[in-house]
Amino acid sequence: MLSLYAVEHQLVHTLADGERVCGVTLLAGEIYLVRDKERDQVEVCDVTTYRLQRRLTVPYAILLTDMTSCEHNRCVYIGDHGGECIHRLDVQGAVTRWAVNGSPVGLSVNAAHNVLVTCYEVRQIKEFSSYGNLLQEIALPSEVINPWHAIQTRSGQFIVCGGCFGDPVHSVCMISADGCHIVHSHGGQQGSDIDQYDEPRHLAVDDNESVFVADPYNRRVTLLSPTLEYVGQVVSPDQLKRDPYSLYFYTQRRHLYVAVDEWNEEQRNCTSGRIAVFSV
């Protein structure tokens, strides 16, 4: 099954271009994506037709970084790096927020329906309840440099991707539940070989806990086994033609949603973004 994963993929649909896409998720049969702009940052689309249903504004947003969802609590969470907070948006459109006391970059929801917030500047994972009560702070091992995103497996271990330009290690690591040591890892020196990454930014897992890795500056999505062994390239640079920064895997349809941005080298910024949907 894993070997098939690495070759059976096709582009199903591409959502419309717009401002840079900061994150994508699904909730209650709808696609949510968040864009980098002052108003109407959240776009909600039908999961079947991909048609835009509505736009929602996140008040007091400064620099949005990621998005995740929780079916149990019927809401989405949006990280705000500039405001050092999390915005909580429920399906009725009500928005609340809470302070992180750090700059959030990556978000995920664990099996306990709590929010995991990755703060790369302090190299921590912070776990919050749905309404912002801090439950624990997990300091990452010293080998994990500039972490971007973390998810928690059913067994309680954490999978973390990290590495910035100039860092000695760009990798995906499985870390013990207490955060003290690395159990498995994939990656190393920054590069483009199959065992290397160039700033791996975001993760997604399927129902077997195989791991998808967004590798933006290599313009590809890599698939790893549940123990972080290399399986293959799920989405290639030729298919993306842009930089993938965020992922969401929809188990029921086996669709991988990839947020891709267009980088302007002269302006040193992202000029546009969209969602590409792949069948895997």
Which pLDDT score, from 0 to 100, does residue 270 have?
66
Which pLDDT score, from 0 to 100, does residue 266 have?
62
The DSSP H or E segment spanning 238 is helix 237-240
Which pLDDT score, from 0 to 100, does residue 279 have?
94
Asked if the structure places residue 89 within a domain, the reply is no
Closest CA to 19 of 35, 32, 34, 40: 35
Question: Would you state the structure tokens that stand for residue 16, as one six-digit string?
Answer: 């419309």
Which pLDDT score, from 0 to 100, does residue 9 have?
79
* Residues ≥6 apart with Cβ < 8 Å to 116: 107, 108, 109, 110, 125, 126, 127, 150, 151, 152, 158
Asked if the structure places residue 123 within a domain, the reply is yes
Domain that holds residue 194: 2-21+103-279
Interval 96-109: pLDDT, tens: 999 999 999 999 99
Distances (CA, A) of 245 to 28, 47, 196, 240: 23, 21, 17, 11
Which pLDDT score, from 0 to 100, does residue 1 have?
40
Which pLDDT score, from 0 to 100, does residue 92 have?
83
Interval 220-273: pLDDT, tens: 999 999 999 999 999 999 898 889 999 999 999 999 999 999 876 665 566 689
Which segments of the chain have a pLDDT < 70?
1-8, 264-271
Domain count, the chain: 1
Closest CA to 259 of 5, 4, 20, 7: 20
CATH number for the domain that contains residue 192: 2.120.10.30
Q: Are 259 and 221 in contact (CB under 8 A)?
A: no
Closest CA to 97 of 79, 72, 120: 79
| Rounded CA separation 206/251 (Å) | 6
Asked if the structure places residue 49 within a domain, the reply is no
Asked if the structure places residue 62 within a domain, the reply is no
Q: Are 116 and 152 in contact (CB under 8 A)?
A: yes
